[in-house]
Structure 1
Amino acid sequence: MALDPDSRSSARYKDEFLATRAIGPQALLSSKRFMLAAWTALVIVSLACLAIFLRYTSSPIGQIQTEPLEGGPHSAAVHLPPSQPQVALDPFGPSSVLKGGPTLSFRDNLRSDVQYITSWVSAGWTNDVMTYINLIYLGLITDRVPIIAEFIPSHIGGHVPPIPFGQVFDVPRLRNLLGTSVLEWRDVKNHNSTFVDDIGCWNVWEAVQYREAFPRRSRSINDLNLDISYTKAPEWIKMIPNYEHDQHVTFWSLARLAFPTTRKASLVPPLPSPQHNISLPPDQHLLCYDYLYYVSAHQPFEMEYDYSPAWRYVGKYMHWTPELEKLADDYVRRAIGVPEDGPIPPFISIHVRHHDFEAWCGGIPVLECFAPLSAIARRVREVQQEIQETTGLTVNHVVMTSDERNATWWREVSELGWFTPDHTDTKALYGDWYPVLIDAVIQSQGFGFVGTDRSTMSIIAARRVESWQKGPNRLVKWGSPGADDH
């Protein structure tokens, strides 16, 4: 990794201070200016050492993390947006690990003393968020700087342009909370470059499932003008050997491939790249994997559990951009009827996922398959009671977000006295990405949360409410009549 500039400063000022001690007492007494310089050097040494100590203790692996309280239910009677840390500088920004601004070829911008890691997305927006969480965590445990591509519009239509990761998540804040660098591809390679870069990557997908005999495909590869030669990863990376119904691998099985001994022992003839027909082994400078959604530490789909290391060490530090939070606040104010810039009262957020889950009903009528509003209301009351018992706070407002299209269903939601953001003009005003982005922010702002079982959007919203608001959550079961009865 790059030499710590604070370490260089500390050494320089230490040498200067020791030099002043070598001067005899009489010479020091005769020069007030020299004495002043010595004391100045001593102060600078102390400050530099303190900076090094603080940087060391900020590491997310093996260290205790501290972060300011962010307006959770324990801190106020009204809902306030998470406070933004006052960061004057971005010490882990692109300039600390790249040669300069974006270049035509990504290789021209990579420093020889820094190692990097990247991957691509291909699974719907929330799943792609989880994929990037996994990528960053894998970067932490392999001592590599992650490079993150844009989000692709797999859930809203290929005609919609991708959206940069940094337009959704506050990347400088993420870097400072992690205490390490995180890059976007737009930092590394010029977005308008037509230069095609050759690179060798690991093919994880073909090693963990038995239906597709090729690497995982992603639009991101074409958007970045990459010509990839894939090497199939060894079969021992699969979490459950020879089990066709699960595709998970462990973080450390993939991490092993980042180091020379296992990498060398795992090399097999690579596939030629599709454009230049070049066969390349997995790159050692920019380590890359085709797909990192199905990655866990201990068991499949573990991000829904509170012990998940990827969430604890990365996901909870991926806060929304201030602009996106402000936009979501405006939607909540209008929904509840709060004046512009007025304080938002505490509320319970709900996410009900219906539309694309109909295929999972297996012939059961939709009205019997999905949980009724009465079951959701029961879960809301449970969350309200838990907040009351643990904090003494009464939360009466409820904000519903859902992909449901049935007008009768929405009328019943209104009859319950619940509120909902009005997305009538959202796409026209802000673009196709923003209905789902605004809803995700609103879900994370609840003092408690009620979601849909088996929905990754609900699972991540529950994690955010737990981590940021210290609030309880419930996931409503569905799939058969009375599935959530208890």
Structure 2
Amino acid sequence: MANGNIQYHSLKTREGASSPASRSRSPSPNSTSRIPSRSSNNSHNNSRISIAKAILLVSVSFMFLALVHVSYSAQYEDGAAATTSSSGDLENHQQQQQQKPPPTTLVTPKPVVPNSPPVTPQEQPPHTPAEQPQSSEAEKGSIISDTDLTTTYRYENGTESRVFKPNFFKNGPAGKKELGSFLETLATRSWVVHQPEHKLEGGTEDEEQEHENDDQDDDNHDQNAVPGRYFSYLPMGGGNNQFTSLQKAALLAKDLKRTLILPPISPNSHIKTWAGPRYSQFYDLESFIQKSGIPVLEWHDIKLTPENVPGGFGRQWEEFSEDFPCTANGGIGVSNTSLYDKFRQQFLLKYVRAVASDDKTEGKSTDYKYARDVLLKDTVVAAPAAGAAAPPPPANGGVVVDPNMWKCLSCPYFLGGPDVGSRTWAEVGVFLRFNEKTEAMVDDILDVLLGPVTEGEPTTTAGPGIVTTGGSSHKAFRPHPQFIIIHLRRGDIVNKCPAGMAEKDCIVQIEAIADKIDEIEKARRTEALEALKKTMTDDDPASDGRNYAHKRLPVLVTTNEQRREELDKIDRLGWILLDHGDVEKDEKGQIKPSMTKKLGTETRFGPWYPSMLDAVLLTRGDYLIGMANSRMSILATQRGAAWHNHKTMLM
């Protein structure tokens, strides 16, 4: 750039300024005019030629330097952009990604295959609106199948995606045929033998000794499920109720020695979309499989279906659906009118009640042991007599499906028994932890709300190398100041108060929670003073605690409360309200002042993230106060205490 400028000014000098050659040709003011001689003319012409050559040389040099400068600038800008993208914060990155329109595709990551080596999460094409792959042909990969109804692409990392064309939604029978049968997919599925990671990589004797317990876990894992036997269920209710169903279904799969096929988080009365995200978007299923010994697949791994569909398709989805045999329980699925799940629509499954001959309750039992015993009795298939011909293949040329391969229960949520609650947590829930990506997003939120840790300030207790009851050591969280967090369940709970009962007698009041926080702070102060006294001598002037300075912990609040008077109470107490909304602007485009820090979570990441990130935040508080009538609070207290050894309570 500098060289180009120097040449540019040099060129200007030659064109407009008085050069030595031009000065030699100019007549002196005191000289007389005369006719030039032949030699002077030749000299004059040679001088002109020299000047022309010089100008030509300078011009060529300038053009060359200009080209070099443009090339260098382009490379620098590309490098700077890449550096900014990689080093910039998550918010800027997601805002840029949000501007990209998501294509109408279904991306199917590598399946979580029981007894198979783990799949690196980064290899999986993400499913969130902010992270959909761009629609350019190069990024879609190579086309491996193209029909009038769909186009299937294969990526370099081995994953595949299917794009559904408009014609697909106009022909139910043809679309149904092209999607294929989930039962036939399971029947032809190969079973991969698992090898522990440390055995594959090789290690020293010390490392082998260190992983001795892991070997035992792997042995238990290999023996737990019978290859080619699967179990699934219908997800019902809100997200936390669905998680409760998941825990009980996983326990059933373990008792039945079957692989659990995990439905996605289903749309519900709180989040109304066509399709729900897979659990692996938020949870670490790889770690869960290894630690619980329960093999898991996800429905996305066995059936490709549309995630975004035309509006009218919601009224005709059953035309594209295949039969979905499932045993009713708790009265859910006794008749089709009892089913209210969205999972069947997303995966185009038509519920067909599977009648169990041993079920004397007509599908209305809610006893865990009873349901387990009914499901344990596989269908008896008579072997052909000696010398008899083998049964003919299916008329449609399809795959012969083993009737013992598939088991399903309509609604595990209602199952109960003497030890069901303790077993579901100890054998399932404690192992199903959030993945590192989701935890990192919560770190970003805490960075915004709490700021950096000051020198000497105590930090959150889940630090590097923490091995929890869950049995694994996750990547350390970023250090943050200690804090108290409250889950204030209101909204729909207020509406459920019995007629005639005062609200203060129905739900916990904010004033009572404030008193509880005062008790926590008093206990913290007492513990700190006792610890301080143990480190001081009798002649220390601060031994009586007079110089002790106590700082109250910040208080974070997650709530669905909307009433202004209740939110004002939170503001006056100085508590920090989690606000996933967007900043608001006035008619002049100026940001309106707000009592909360707007996180913009739903706009940046999609409708499933606000509640999920709140669930993670609740586990992070060094002190958690939850509501006893909230399933979300109950799960949060279990997670916070078991994973991080935090102090939790329900009011």
TM over 0.5: yes
Instruction: Describe the shift of the 1:397–1:254 C-alpha distance in structure 2 as closer, same or farther (beyond 3 A).
Output: same
The answer to whether structure 1 residue 332 and structure 2 residue 446 are counterparts is: yes
The answer to whether structure 1 residue 118 and structure 2 residue 118 are counterparts is: no
Deviations 1:163-196 (A, max 9, x none): 2111121211222222442111111222349974
State which of 211, 216, 226 in structure 2 corresponds to 1:56.
Answer: 216
Corresponding residue for 1:474? Answer: 649
For residues 290 and 345 of structure 1, the distance between their equivalents in structure 2, rounded to whole angstroms, comes to 45
Instruction: Describe the shift of the 1:443–1:237 C-alpha distance in structure 2 as closer, same or farther (beyond 3 A).
Output: farther
- Give yes or no for contact 1:465–1:472 (8 Å, CA) kept in 2: yes
Alignment of 1:38-187 (within 5 A): 54-57=214-217, 113-159=227-273, 161-187=275-301
The answer to whether structure 1 residue 292 and structure 2 residue 412 are counterparts is: yes
Larger radius of gyration: 2
For residues 214 and 296 of structure 2, the distance between their equivalents in structure 1, rounded to whole angstroms, comes to 19
For residues 174 and 384 of structure 1, the distance between their equivalents in structure 2, rounded to whole angstroms, comes to 36
Instruction: Describe the shift of the 1:257–1:406 C-alpha distance in structure 2 as closer, same or farther (beyond 3 A).
Output: same
AA partner of residue 463 (structure 1):
Q
Deviations 1:76-96 (A, max 9, x none): xxxxxxxxxxxxxxxx9xxxx
SS of 1:117's partner is strand
Of stretches 462-471 and 409-418 in structure 1, the one that deviates more from structure 2 is: 409-418
Instruction: Describe the shift of the 1:49–1:331 C-alpha distance in structure 2 as closer, same or farther (beyond 3 A).
Output: closer
For residues 5 and 161 of structure 1, the distance between their equivalents in structure 2, rounded to whole angstroms, comes to 32
Moved over 6 A (4+): 43-53, 339-342, 386-395
- Give yes or no for contact 2:330–2:366 (8 Å, CA) kept in 1: no
AA partner of residue 257 (structure 1):
V
SS of 2:643's partner is helix
State which of 486, 507, 512 in structure 2 corresponds to 1:370.
Answer: 507
- Give yes or no for contact 1:237–1:253 (8 Å, CA) kept in 2: no
Relative contact order, CA 8 A, sep 6+: which one is greater? Answer: 1
How many positions carry a matched residue from both structures?
365
Corresponding residue for 2:613? Answer: 438
Corresponding residue for 1:198? Answer: 323
Of stretches 339-348 and 408-417 in structure 1, the one that deviates more from structure 2 is: 339-348
Corresponding residue for 2:635? Answer: 460
SS of 1:258's partner is helix
- Give yes or no for contact 2:260–2:294 (8 Å, CA) kept in 1: no
Deviations 1:25-47 (A, max 9, x none): xxxxxxxxxxxxxxxx9x99999
Residue 236 of structure 1 and its aligned partner are, at CA, apart by: 6.0
Of stretches 353-362 and 46-55 in structure 1, the one that deviates more from structure 2 is: 46-55
AA partner of residue 134 (structure 1):
K
For residues 329 and 44 of structure 1, the distance between their equivalents in structure 2, rounded to whole angstroms, comes to 36
Corresponding residue for 2:491? Answer: 355
SS of 1:422's partner is coil
AA partner of residue 191 (structure 1):
T
Corresponding residue for 1:226? Answer: 349
Residue 328 of structure 1 and its aligned partner are, at CA, apart by: 1.7
For residues 422 and 155 of structure 1, the distance between their equivalents in structure 2, rounded to whole angstroms, comes to 21
- Give yes or no for contact 2:268–2:342 (8 Å, CA) kept in 1: no
SS of 2:626's partner is strand
Corresponding residue for 1:248? Answer: 366
Instruction: Describe the shift of the 1:346–1:248 C-alpha distance in structure 2 as closer, same or farther (beyond 3 A).
Output: farther
SS of 2:577's partner is coil
Corresponding residue for 2:10? Answer: none
Instruction: Describe the shift of the 1:112–1:443 C-alpha distance in structure 2 as closer, same or farther (beyond 3 A).
Output: closer
RMSD in angstroms over aligned alpha carbons?
4.1
AA partner of residue 352 (structure 1):
L
Corresponding residue for 1:78? Answer: none
- Give yes or no for contact 1:282–1:288 (8 Å, CA) kept in 2: no
**TM norm structure 1:** 0.64
Residue 377 of structure 1 and its aligned partner are, at CA, apart by: 1.9
Gap runs ≥5 in structure 1: 11-40, 62-91, 98-110, 265-280, 477-486
Instruction: Describe the shift of the 1:173–1:248 C-alpha distance in structure 2 as closer, same or farther (beyond 3 A).
Output: same
The answer to whether structure 1 residue 403 and structure 2 residue 560 are counterparts is: yes
AA partner of residue 397 (structure 1):
P
For residues 346 and 406 of structure 2, the distance between their equivalents in structure 1, rounded to whole angstroms, comes to 18
Deviations 1:416-443 (A, max 9, x none): 2322223122221221122211211111
Corresponding residue for 1:69? Answer: none
Corresponding residue for 1:346? Answer: 482
For residues 437 and 206 of structure 2, the distance between their equivalents in structure 1, rounded to whole angstroms, comes to 38
For residues 176 and 119 of structure 1, the distance between their equivalents in structure 2, rounded to whole angstroms, comes to 22
AA partner of residue 471 (structure 1):
H
Corresponding residue for 2:302? Answer: 188
Residue 374 of structure 1 and its aligned partner are, at CA, apart by: 1.7
Deviations 1:297-343 (A, max 9, x none): 417xx64xxxx110111111111122221222222222223389973
Instruction: Describe the shift of the 1:253–1:333 C-alpha distance in structure 2 as closer, same or farther (beyond 3 A).
Output: same
For residues 225 and 417 of structure 1, the distance between their equivalents in structure 2, rounded to whole angstroms, comes to 49
Deviations 1:365-424 (A, max 9, x none): 445543221211233344556677889698722211100012332222132232222312
**TM norm structure 2:** 0.49
For residues 211 and 228 of structure 2, the distance between their equivalents in structure 1, rounded to whole angstroms, comes to 22
- Give yes or no for contact 2:268–2:341 (8 Å, CA) kept in 1: no
Residue 117 of structure 1 and its aligned partner are, at CA, apart by: 0.8
Instruction: Describe the shift of the 1:414–1:320 C-alpha distance in structure 2 as closer, same or farther (beyond 3 A).
Output: same
- Give yes or no for contact 2:325–2:353 (8 Å, CA) kept in 1: yes
Deviations 1:39-59 (A, max 9, x none): xx9x99999999786332467
Instruction: Describe the shift of the 1:231–1:344 C-alpha distance in structure 2 as closer, same or farther (beyond 3 A).
Output: same
For residues 257 and 523 of structure 2, the distance between their equivalents in structure 1, rounded to whole angstroms, comes to 41
SS of 1:228's partner is strand
Instruction: Describe the shift of the 1:399–1:192 C-alpha distance in structure 2 as closer, same or farther (beyond 3 A).
Output: same
Gap runs ≥5 in structure 2: 1-114, 116-190, 308-316, 381-400, 455-476, 532-549, 583-600
Instruction: Describe the shift of the 1:179–1:47 C-alpha distance in structure 2 as closer, same or farther (beyond 3 A).
Output: farther
